[in-house]
Amino acid sequence: MNLRNIAIIAHVDHGKTTLVDALLAQSGVFRANEATVERAMDSNDQERERGITILAKCTSVLWNGKAGETRINIIDTPGHADFGGEVERILGMVDGCVILIDAEEGVMPQTKFVLGKALKLGLRPILCINKVDRPHADPDRVHNEAFDLFAIMGATDEQLDFPHIYASGKNGWATMDMNVPSDNLGPLFDLIVEHVPEPKVIENKDKPFQMLAVLIESDPFLGRVLTGRVNSGKAVPGLAIKALNRDGVEIERGRITKVLAFRGLKRQPVDEGTEAGDICAIAGLSKATVADTLCDMSLTDALPAQPIDPPTISMTVSVNDSPLAGKEGTKVQSRVIRERLLKEAESNVAIRVTETDEKDAFEVAGRGELQLGVLIENMRREGFEVAISRPRVVFKIDPETGEKMEPIEDVVIDVDEEFTGVVIEKLSARKAELKDMGPSGAGKTRITLKSPSRSLIGYQGEFLTDTRGSGVLNRVFSHYEGYKGIIDQNRKGVLISNGDGETAAFALWKLEERGTMFVGGNEKTYMGMIIGENSRLDDLDVNPMKTKQLTNIRASGTDEAIRLTPPRRPTLEQAIAYIEDDELVEVTPKSIRLRKKELNPSFRKKRVRTDA
């Protein structure tokens, strides 16, 4: 049987997971009477809720086409830049990739990022222009944009000679020629089998077993499960193996207890094992992790692991020390939080965890606010209570000049023409540089900028307000440049509770003229908790618990009816982006609260004076 290993890579929302759904359905993975779900590969709760792919996942289909029966291992990858670490790891497992580009949106920042990684590894991508049935689709323009991008990224002549195919993943068809209609994905399957080479490592099938671990997960029955492509030999249950780190130092020895092969959406145990070139998951080791080499006892050399781009954003995760701590969560101790963060850093190579000088606090560095937000949301659902600081960029020092360097991002914004002025004005004030601007179809303007990562922290909410929710902002890390200086980001002040207790509707009603509320009536509050946004630039301590004084004297006329405006409850990502350096987000399984680091207002004023 022929074997092909491919990855599907693209910018966020260009239709990777939907296309994989159609590939699975048309390859006969599902029985005729089997219930299927939309976006079957997005198995994680947060992936389903957010509508994005967060973790790279493997599936396998059988295709009986022109070249006979072929097993195609397909890896669905995340499209969001924050989860780029997943893409970097898995590209070493495959021999080819399908790069998806939306026929209307065209080339986007993450397209450039994932294509650069694929070309660097010497892969010859297949260009799939997806969503060609959209009303404003322009496949010819997108094809030209893709060719230009390949050339800019330094593709070789062989890579520039890429095949292209038109598809509609949602409707399940692909065609090599727009004038030749199709009702299935057969042309795409055949193109993959024809263009993607068979794994070169198949010739190593008679050598001792060797495999590079690329993905890691924990199974309640099997323990640690490591996924990768068998580089040589055969993975069979009972085989004695050892794990080597990147430097070839032995970590542990053990036996393979289970070999799991990907068959459709399921992982099935295979007693006969899997041969060189195939992708499988192995259980039996307890210490080995991502980028380690699992091999036969006779081998001493580790396989080279792909270098991962460094984190650019960091934040402090600490024990929740608010007056309401421990009332909603079950996991509140620093030891438990530390273990959970280190476990995450082990399985996600794009996240780095270090202990800080502060008591019970840990610095977590990642690719962006969304990646860190997803981690905290997962912890919150597991019963953790934590306090989170404002994200800050990870600076570097240039070893040659000693100059302070900061991360720079490529930003692409699609926005209605009427809002271009305010977007450019706001980002220029935040030290962003305009690179290009032009129409992108459907009455939209595309603005391309180069911006410091610092200036984009907390900008998303302001951007959506400025563009009436119609703008789309995409960003991806580009490189490090010299420090750009202080960026003026004037946020309005906040309304802070001056005592402990429960909020009263009467007090909030009176406070509404001061600003926007984050809390409703009859909610627990404490001194130093942020209950709303001030309409002015300074912070204001207020009493949200004041009730109406009742007397036995009859009021002349009728009392006014108290009608509160619904509070603006920030989501976790919005809260993380909103806070200032002297504030924290208190995250519990049931609540997201904003607070000042220093709860006592007299100490806060003292500290401001000493800072000044």
Task: Supply the DSSP string of 166-226, one letter for each residue.
Answer: EEETTTTEEESSTTS--SSSHHHHHHHHHHSPPPGGGGGTTSPPEEE--EEEEETTTEEEE
The DSSP bridge pattern shows strands 592-596 and 583-587 to be: antiparallel
- 46 and 173 belong to one structural domain: yes
Which token pair is 149? 């991008």
The answer to the question of whether 484 is labelled as a binding residue is no
How do strand 293-296 and strand 210-212 relate by DSSP bridges? Answer: antiparallel
**Alpha-carbon torsion (540, 545, 551, 554), positive or negative:** positive
Does residue 258 fall inside a structural domain? Answer: yes
- Looking at the structure, tell me whether residues 24 and 124 fall in a common domain: yes
* Element containing residue 164 per DSSP (H, E): strand 164-168
- What count of residues does the chain have? 612
354 in a labelled binding site: no
Indicate if 527 and 472 belong to the same structural domain. no
Same domain, 500 and 456: no
Flag whether 16 is marked binding: yes
List pLDDT tens digits, range 59-92.
888 888 777 888 888 888 876 666 766 677 778 8
DSSP classification of residue 331: B
Per-residue b or e along 446-470, where b marks 16 or more CB atoms closer than 10 Å to that residue's CB: bbebbbbbbbbbbbbeebeebbeee
The answer to whether the annotation marks 132 as part of a ligand binding site is yes
The model's pLDDT over 505-527, given as tens digits with 9 standing for 90+, comes to 888 888 888 889 998 888 899 99
* CA separation, residue 293 to residues 68, 222, 252, 279, 374 (Å): 34, 20, 11, 14, 29
**Is residue 306 a part of any domain in this protein?**
no
Q: Are residues 190 and 212 in the same domain?
A: no
Q: Is 391 part of any domain? A: no
Whole-number Å distance between alpha carbons of 449 and 456: 12
Instruction: Centre a 10 Å sphere on the Cβ of residue 372 and count the other Cβ atoms it contains.
Output: 25
- Map tokens 């809260």 to a residue: 575
Query: Is 551 known to sit in a ligand binding site?
Result: no
The residue among 459, 482, 505 that closes a domain is 482
Q: Residue 431 sits in which domain range?
A: 397-482
**266: annotated binding-site residue?**
no
Tokens of 116: 């650069």
Total structural domains within the chain: 4
pLDDT at 129: 92
- 520 and 404 co-located in one domain: no
Tell whether 175 and 68 lie within a shared domain: yes
428 and 516 co-located in one domain? no
Note the pLDDT of residue 611: 43
Does 130 show up as a binding residue in the annotation?
yes
How far is Cα 110 from Cα 114, in angstroms, rounded to an integer? 6
Model-level pTM?
0.79
Beta bridge partners of 353: 364
| Average pLDDT, consecutive stretches of 10 residues, N- to C-terminus, the chain (612 residues) | 86 79 74 48 63 75 82 81 70 87 84 82 90 88 90 88 90 88 88 89 87 84 87 89 88 90 81 85 86 88 78 89 88 90 81 83 85 88 91 86 87 86 87 86 82 84 81 81 79 88 88 88 90 88 84 62 83 85 90 90 62 40
Give yes or no for a contact between 484 and 501, defined as CB atoms under 8 angstroms apart: no
Q: Please, which residues have CB within 8 angstroms of residue 592's CB and are 6 or more apart in sequence?
A: 569, 570, 571, 572, 575, 585, 586
Residue 352 exposure: Cα atoms within 13 Å on the Cβ side: 13
- C-alpha span between 295 and 275 (Å, rounded): 13
Instruction: For residues 432 and 500, state if they share a domain.
Output: no
Closest by alpha carbon to 449, among 412, 404, 486, 494?
412
Last residue of a domain, one of 451, 482, 513: 482
Asked if residue 293 belongs to a known ligand binding site, the reply is no
For residue 601, the domain's CATH number is: 2.40.50.250
